[in-house]
Amino acid sequence: MGDERADASQDFIRGLLASCGRGETPPAMALMRLAMAAADEAAFAAAVAASRDLPDADDPGAAQRLAALRALAAGAPEAWRLVRSVLAAVPHDASADATAEARLADLSAAFDRAAALSPEASVALYSFGRPELLDAATAEVAKYLGELGLLGRERALVDIGCGVGRFERALADKVGRIVGLDISPTMVEIAQRNCAGLANVEIRLSSGKDLAAIATAGADAVLAIDVFPYIVSASPALADKFFQEIARALKPGGDFLLANYSYRADDIADRADVARLAASCGFRVLRSDERPFVGWDGRVFHLGKEG
Ligand SMILES: C[S@@+](CC[C@H](N)C(=O)[O-])C[C@H]1O[C@@H](n2cnc3c(N)ncnc32)[C@H](O)[C@@H]1O
């Protein structure tokens, strides 16, 4: 979803817009961060308008990317309100005193609230509640999974934190079977509705503590797309447990695709944690902290279970 909080100073706005102009921050992500940072709708509109004044706008590529940001803003007039209300529904700063169990219960309730506000924005804030924007982002990730060799009609996939089932729907005709797990009953309900009639898709409510529903060596690939930040925020020990569970659930040689490990804005610590967990659970790190997408800045780790 995205958890970066920022100070809506002019420097912040100019830096973000310049980064978008250089092609480092996708327009939708830049717009989402402007909405997260702006105190009100007028400040958001002013920040979007500031994209016209950037010196970089002389560069045709930069001008194009910033025009795409403005076009997104024009097409989603409710963007600021929606981003703010979904963020308010899913607090990202868990109390340090809460147990992992209490945090999982809070997260389940939070994602219930967010899904009720907007199924699309609850899984990807940068869709601004627009199904066509979410579909485009999903298609890009699905294509990438195919390029990595994770798909195939004989392959069984598990998707941890499946949300509204966008990957189940997109991948159903490209895999043998896919099981989506989620801790939020509302997400599960929506995902089941979205995947109705897809015989090789199963959506299950999960405790969020393990992969108890998945047989040992039952999966060819496990996906965890934008869910580990919540697992890590519930408890670092839970992240260790999930790595062990994923290693248990995968067949030898199976793939683990992790997109975003945490939202703590410390890339070095994320890479170190993933490397440590991979080594302790019998994974080879095939890709570490890559950003392969045009529309989303998800940071991808691809791990292979030792054969
Ligand atoms: C930001 S959404 C992403 C959903 C989906 N992966 C996608 O990209 O569309 C995060 C999802 O993870 C779920 N979740 C959070 N913690 C979880 C856990 N420990 N086990 C399973 N699901 C979890 C939430 O309920 C929510 O649906």
Separation of 2 CA from ligand 1 center, angstroms? 12
| pLDDT tens by residue, 120-129 | 999 999 999 9
Mean pLDDT of all residues belonging to the chain: 94
77/204 Cα distance (integer angstroms) = 35
Closest CA to 191 of 226, 156, 221, 167: 167
Q: What is the pTM of this model?
A: 0.94
Whether 206 lines ligand 1, by a CB cut-off of 6 Å, is yes
Q: What is the pLDDT of residues 206-220, one digit of tens each?
A: 999 999 999 999 999
Residue 182 beta carbon below 6 angstroms from any ligand 1 atom? yes
What is the whole-number distance in angstroms between the Cα of residue 108 and the centre of ligand 1?
Answer: 9
Minimal-distance CA residue to ligand 1 atom 9: 123
- Which CATH topology does 131-305 take? Rossmann fold (3.40.50)
For ligand 1, is residue 184 a contact (CB within 6 Å)?
Answer: yes
208: tokens are: 């969020």
Burial 265-300 (b: 16+ CB within 10 A, else e): eeeeebbebbbebbeebbbeeeeeeeebbebbbbbb
Judge if the beta carbon of residue 187 lies within 6 A of ligand 1. Answer: yes
245 lines ligand 1 (CB under 6 A): no
**Identity at 1, one-letter amino acid code:** M
Closest C-alpha residue for ligand 1 atom 24 = 161
The CB of 299 under 6 Å from ligand 1? The reply is no
Q: Whose CA is nearest to atom 11 of ligand 1?
A: 161
Query: pLDDT of 153-204, one tens digit each?
Result: 999 999 999 999 999 999 999 999 999 999 999 999 999 999 999 999 999 9
Ligand 1 binding pocket includes 18 (Cβ within 6 Å): no
pLDDT at 285 over 80: yes
Mean pLDDT, residues 55-63: 76
